[in-house]
Chains A and B, each alone.
Chain A
């Protein structure tokens, strides 16, 4: 092992072996930390195992809610971003008010106010669908800002060129602006999608039996906190890591140079 073995820069790129050794060392350190943290606390598996169906049902609910909210929040984000650029003032200001309000409030306030305030008042009592809508509205506000910034980053000359060849405004967005926006916003949107999956855990406060709700339930029934929450964390990672990898893949697919 020579000096600079672990250095990876444009002038002296690291060898493949350096990357493998680095990953192995880190895994070793990581395992050590986990062993220290959990070796004395993770013992009571038998009792927790009895509740595995509760846990799996919760996980399925989390996946379903997140997937639905992911699609809905993308749609809300795109429409809001367009509304913020609308020439029609009431629409533009409504979109701006929505984005600023939602981004300024903690999710827990939105969940409680949305469910016990608005949804109950209009007699909408299906917790899961209300939860999906609240989560989508919350995440949609952030996505709207990402898309808006992405649209604004596309230069004036692209609009001119699109108009010059005779594209309509809708076609310009579809063929010229959005493909370029997509490339800009994939990294932040990937982060937002991971946040959304984790944020769905807050829906347990309105009694939706999702993953965090299940873990809490198992914890109170078995008094085995670590045995309930370590699998919880792993289950969230299993969902968020693929999202992150998938967007990395998409990024490589839509890459082009300016």
Chain B
């Protein structure tokens, strides 16, 4: 998968979060976005997802520019799997209902087909026994796994995961990271914002460091963690890996 950013700018009020970013990256399976909080990782992910529109510049996914009008952005979102930090699920629907909603509502599958496909995905993530439970009856890790199942059920072109484990305790974090690692087999490209450095190092093909309104460094995972070049990246890694 190839992502290219051309002069990408995003402002919130007076604050420029992404400042005319020019950047290109190609990766086989997983791209991890890391960096300090407020550095622009999640903003970039939301732009890639088509949830927000940039103030200037464009994003090219595999050579094709992202649309800028709401109707085409909606189509783009419907073909992209997006998972947030928390509260992904609709609390009034069961796990199965959550996975089925995009299938019936957006992709126009009939209920029987949608149910079958949703159950298949839930089974794959060992969630079949929880299919009829509502989100409040699931653990945090199970909720995130259902959210990943929902994102995958529509057969998206790629997946965007925005700190999918940062609201979880260590055990549930491991449970969800296992699932993400397994996604390698599905051959769906993943772009992942994460604070889990160990996971980024082991599972990502490439790691991009985002701070100060731009991409400071991007390299293959092993090289990135062993020989960071930028002083800001070195400092960040030293601080975060100290404990």
A contacts, CB < 8 Å to B: 155, 157-158, 160-168, 171, 175-176, 179-180, 183, 254, 256-258
Flag whether B165 is at the interface (Cβ < 8 A): no
Contact (Cβ within 8 A) A164 B136:
no
Contact (Cβ within 8 A) A183 B92:
yes
Q: Which of B77-105 contact A (CB under 8 A)?
A: 77-79, 82, 84, 86-92, 101-102, 105
Contact (Cβ within 8 A) A161 B88:
yes
Flag whether B181 is at the interface (Cβ < 8 A): no
Question: Chain B contacts of A254 at CB under 8 A?
Answer: 92
Contact (Cβ within 8 A) A164 B51:
yes
Contact (Cβ within 8 A) A165 B77:
yes
Question: Chain A contacts of B51 at CB under 8 A?
Answer: 160, 163-164
**How far apart are B190's CB and chain A's nearest CB, in angstroms?**
15
CA distance A179 to B93 in the complex (A): 9
Give the top 10 A-B pairs by smallest Cβ distance, nearest first. Answer: A166-B78, A257-B136, A157-B87, A164-B82, A165-B102, A166-B106, A179-B92, A166-B77, A256-B134, A256-B92
Question: Chain A contacts of B91 at CB under 8 A?
Answer: 180, 256-258
With A166-B102, A166-B106, A257-B136 as contacts: A161 and B77 at CB distance below 8 Å: no
Given contacts A165-B78, A256-B92, 17 further A-B contacts (CB under 8 A): A160-B51, A161-B89, A164-B51, A164-B88, A165-B77, A165-B82, A165-B101, A165-B102, A165-B105, A165-B150, A165-B154, A171-B105, A176-B90, A183-B92, A254-B92, A256-B136, A257-B136
Max chain B C-beta neighbours (<10 A), residue from A163, A180, A183? A163
**How far apart are B2's CB and chain A's nearest CB, in angstroms?**
23
Question: Chain B contacts of A258 at CB under 8 A?
Answer: 91, 136
> What residue of chain B has the Cβ atom nearest to residue A159's Cβ?
B51
| Interface residues on chain B, size class | 20 to 34
Question: Chain B contacts of A171 at CB under 8 A?
Answer: 105-106
Contact (Cβ within 8 A) A257 B134:
yes
Question: Chain B contacts of A165 at CB under 8 A?
Answer: 77-78, 82, 101-102, 105-106, 150, 154
CA distance A168 to B154 in the complex (A): 16
Flag whether B111 is at the interface (Cβ < 8 A): no
CA distance A179 to B94 in the complex (A): 13
**How far apart are A240's CB and chain B's nearest CB, in angstroms?**
28
> What residue of chain B has the Cβ atom nearest to residue A157's Cβ?
B87
**How far apart are A194's CB and chain B's nearest CB, in angstroms?**
26
21 residue pairs bridging A and B, Cβ less than 8 Å apart: A155-B87, A157-B84, A158-B87, A163-B74, A163-B77, A164-B77, A164-B84, A165-B82, A165-B105, A165-B106, A166-B74, A166-B78, A166-B79, A166-B102, A167-B105, A167-B106, A175-B101, A180-B91, A256-B92, A257-B91, A257-B137
CA distance A164 to B52 in the complex (A): 11
Flag whether B59 is at the interface (Cβ < 8 A): no
CA distance A258 to B89 in the complex (A): 11
CA distance A162 to B89 in the complex (A): 9
Q: Specify which of B105, B134, B136, B150 is in contact with A175 (CB 8 Å cutoff).
A: B105
Question: Chain A contacts of B89 at CB under 8 A?
Answer: 161
Flag whether B28 is at the interface (Cβ < 8 A): no
CA distance A187 to B106 in the complex (A): 32
Question: Chain A contacts of B207 at CB under 8 A?
Answer: none
> What residue of chain A has the Cβ atom nearest to residue B49's Cβ?
A164
Contact (Cβ within 8 A) A158 B74:
no
Question: Chain B contacts of A257 at CB under 8 A?
Answer: 91, 134, 136-137
> What residue of chain A has the Cβ atom nearest to residue B82's Cβ?
A164
Max chain B C-beta neighbours (<10 A), residue from A155, A165, A167, A256? A165
Question: Chain A contacts of B49 at CB under 8 A?
Answer: 164
Question: Chain A contacts of B102 at CB under 8 A?
Answer: 165-167
Contact (Cβ within 8 A) A158 B90:
yes
**How far apart are A172's CB and chain B's nearest CB, in angstroms?**
9
CA distance A176 to B90 in the complex (A): 7
Flag whether B75 is at the interface (Cβ < 8 A): yes
CA distance A175 to B90 in the complex (A): 9
CA distance A221 to B106 in the complex (A): 65
Question: Chain B contacts of A155 at CB under 8 A?
Answer: 87
Question: Chain A contacts of B86 at CB under 8 A?
Answer: 157
**How far apart are A116's CB and chain B's nearest CB, in angstroms?**
46
Question: Chain B contacts of A164 at CB under 8 A?
Answer: 49, 51, 77, 82, 84, 88
**How far apart are A115's CB and chain B's nearest CB, in angstroms?**
42
CA distance A129 to B91 in the complex (A): 41
**How far apart are A26's CB and chain B's nearest CB, in angstroms?**
36
With A166-B74, A256-B92 as contacts: A161 and B84 at CB distance below 8 Å: yes
**How far apart are B38's CB and chain A's nearest CB, in angstroms?**
18
